[in-house]
Amino acid sequence: MADNQVLQGTQWKVDSSRNFDEGLSLLAQSSELEDSSVTWVFTPEQWQIAKEKLNLNTIKCGLRLCGDDNVEPLAADIKAFDLIVIEFPHFTDGRGFSIAAQLRERYQYQGELRASGYLLVDQLFYLKRCGFDSFVFRNPVDADKAVSALADFSVSYQAS
Amino acid sequence: MYIYDQRDHTLLKERVVQFQRQTQNFLDGELSEEEFLPLRLQNGLYIQRLAPMLRIAVPYGMLSSTQVRALAHITRHYDKGYCHVTTRQNIQLNWPKLEEVPEILTELSGVSMHAIQTSGNCIRNVTSDAFAGVADDEIEDPRPYCELVRQWSTLHPEFAFLPRKFKIAINGSQQDRVAMKFHDIGLQLVNDIDGDLGFQVYVGGGMGRTPVVGQEIKEFLPQRYLLSYLCAIVRTYNRLGRRDNKYKARIKILVKAMGIEKFRELVDEEWCLIRDSYSPLTDVDINAAKSFFSKPNYHAQLQVRRAEIQDNKQPNGNPDALAELNPAFSKWLQRNVRGHQHGDFSAVTLSLKPTGVAPGDITAAQLETLATLAEQFSFGELRTTHEQNVVLADVLREDLFDLWVTANKAGFATPNIDTLTDIVCCPGGDFCALANAKSLPIADAIQKKFDDMDYVYDLGELSLNISGCMNACAHHHVSDIGVLGVDKKGEEFYQIMLGGNDGRDQAAIGKVLGPASGRDEIPAVIEKILDVFVEHRHEHESFGQVYRRIGLNRFKERVYA
């Protein structure tokens, strides 16, 4: 599998998002970012600055959260994002499951929610049920097995 | 008891398929050992000292005769012919083969059983009172709520990778018989002033290396909000619990660090935002759950039995009359039989603690006898207890003598329930990879030393728990006398703790008596402790009462004199 693949729904695609810090500075002109095929993903710190400096109406914006980040200060901005990426430093770090559930339930986030990092395909069904709809693996996974693991169970106990 | 529907069966079948794949991927090297670890743990599979250990879930301790027969078969076919009842009401196999575990899980799923979430950093099997539904001090039968929590927590997508394990217990009686304040969440069924049913909620209790008494987080939670409130607590913990140090990762550490007020505030904040969108438990849901735990047909059973007596097909089994003629039966009646909501019935505890047998161990043949006894005398159901015994909850009083005769032959009638020799004990260093010291030989030595039943009875109710390490599987912090195995430069020593209480009287953590002693000295140390108790007690005083009155020092002076 190529490096820049994302599992979106049940399809593997080329990832069209880029982390904002990839070779760009906060002084970048909005025009450089105005490419509708790219979603620029900001960290919460970058976002606070970007909000002031960039014309966000013309840029597709994403947010990248890690387990330590508190979503509450960003609550009012949630609607501005087309993509929210939650980082999983390790598959045993389950904070991202709850962050996802909070984004969907508490903050009514409707956009693409992505799990990114060291993930086991055996976690995909749970991740999907917590509200994730795309997945980027930092570890090697079998593309077909990942797709089929999304449907490990046909039933669940919890109302969702 | 709860009967699986199509959804339960489908889920179990799919879980077995998933675990087959995971095991195969591990054996093929596709999953590393580190990656396979949480997956196998969430299916109850540990790698122990000598072999894997498979922990089978017994939701809140309820088992049918059919399930017990299946366990007998599995124990015989896949293991060495015996299994072990744990202190969380589950059943452990100590010698299964890793490759055969998926097969065992398939067999279990055939009788609506599994090993899901009996281990790992997830919400574990919910535990309850072995006398649920029959206890004479009951406020409300906790089992329907246990079942609702079981379903909610099973394969909960958000809570499979918590900082650490998470245990919930539900008590429905006046007396706390579930060690509620020593669980991550303890739920006490209560009525509010309007007579509405709900829960008093405790959080942050636990044992292990940092024992903590749980604190009240909510005085009254209306029952419809049970699941949203549980979600708010576990979510807050999942977000904020420590992940840098596994010894500081339990919710008790989080609650202690931030204080109960702050923790309550965070939980309430989350709960207020989700409680209306989170599907509440409706009366329909609750009544559906309750329908599985309706009372057995006591009246019909009574009629049949009384007619048999009338026709002289069966002798009149009046237990009180028989007790007068038979002292051994009388002892058993006093110790192992307790009151019931229905005056013509009794709840019977079958002891898994005869001298010479590891506490909680049970053979395949005994499991089959148990299944038959349950069918014959208790509507085909039985319960495992967190003290590692088995309860037949609905025995007609006229049947008690017949039950005793059979139970006696099968080795289940040792009349020692809640006494010194009803020892709670973990598998310890003989089996467990975590243990610092052996625990089973200590239990054996104590049972052998105190084999005079009259002396044991004279001591009254007394709990003695032995853990092989500070993980405290035998709950040694909350027994009258606790024994903890420690390792000192490769040698096994044992520390004594006194004055713990699991909440039956008043929840308390035992205090360390003094320096640890060698294995051979322990029975004599226990004897000295008991001597101090006997010398100081007033009439009818229990060990716990005497301890609270005279304090630790009196015991210390004698033991280390």
Whether B157 contacts chain A with CB within 8 A: yes
| Alpha-carbon distance values, B297 to B140, B294, B301, B372 (Å) | 19, 9, 7, 19
- Are B142 and B172 in contact by the 8 Å Cβ rule? The answer is yes
Whether B7 contacts chain A with CB within 8 A: yes
3-state secondary structure at position B244: coil
Stretch (H or E) spanning B383: strand B381-384
Instruction: Give CA–CA dist A21/A25, Å, rounded.
Output: 7
Stretch (H or E) spanning B151: helix B143-153
| Tens-place pLDDT, residues B515-530 | 999 999 999 999 999 9
Chain B, residues 58-77, CB within 8 A of chain A, namely none
Q: Taking CB atoms and an 8 Å limit, are A105 and B277 in contact across chains?
A: yes
Nearest Cα neighbor of B476 from B179, B58, B175, B92 is B179
What is the band of A20 on the pLDDT scale with cuts at 50, 70, 90? confident
pLDDT, greater one: A1 or A16: A16
The DSSP secondary structure of B468-519, one letter per residue, reads: SSTT-TT-GGGSSEEEEEEEETTEEEEEEEE--B-SSSS-B--EE-SS-EEG
Nearest Cα neighbor of B117 from B167, B61, B46, B44 is B44
B251-258 and B260-274 helices, crossing angle to 10°: 110
Q: Strand pairing partners for B266?
A: none
pLDDT of residue B432: 85
3-state secondary structure at position A84: strand
Chain B, residues 465-494, CB within 8 A of chain A, namely none
pLDDT at A21 over 80: no
Q: How many CB atoms neighbour CB A2 within 10 A?
A: 7
Q: Taking CB atoms and an 8 Å limit, are A122 and B39 in contact across chains?
A: yes
- Chain B interface, mutation test: which of A97, A123, A129, most B Cβ atoms within 10 Å? A97
Amino acid in the structure at residue A129? R
pLDDT of residue A31: 67
Average pLDDT over residues A19-43: 73
What is the band of A160 on the pLDDT scale with cuts at 50, 70, 90? low
Whether B152 contacts chain A with CB within 8 A: yes
pLDDT of residue B98: 86
Instruction: Give CA–CA dist B471/B428, Å, rounded.
Output: 11
Q: Taking CB atoms and an 8 Å limit, are B160 and A105 in contact across chains?
A: no
Q: Taking CB atoms and an 8 Å limit, are A98 and B278 in contact across chains?
A: no
Of residues A99, A102, A129, nearest to B157 (C-beta): A129
Amino acid in the structure at residue B213? V
Q: Residue B279: its chain A contacts at CB < 8 A?
A: 159
The pair of structure tokens assigned to B217 is 């987080």
3-state secondary structure at position B325: helix
Nearest Cα neighbor of B62 from B15, B106, B127, B114 is B127
Instruction: Give CA–CA dist B382/B525, Å, rounded.
Output: 37
At residue B512, φ and ψ (nearest 5 deg) are -70, 130
User: Is the sign of the CA dihedral B315, B317, B323, B327 positive or negative?
Assistant: positive
pLDDT of residue B250: 97
Share of chain A above pLDDT 90, in %: 71
Q: What is the pTM of this model?
A: 0.95
User: What are the residue ranges in chain B where pLDDT is below 50?
Assistant: none
pLDDT of residue A22: 55
pLDDT of residue A124: 98
DSSP letter at B28? T
Nearest chain A residue (CA) to B7: A155
pLDDT of residue A83: 97
Nearest Cα neighbor of B357 from B457, B444, B252 is B444
- Chain A interface, mutation test: which of B239, B244, B246, most A Cβ atoms within 10 Å? B239
Nearest Cα neighbor of B444 from B528, B357, B554, B366 is B357
Chain B, residues 229-248, CB within 8 A of chain A, namely 235, 238-239, 243
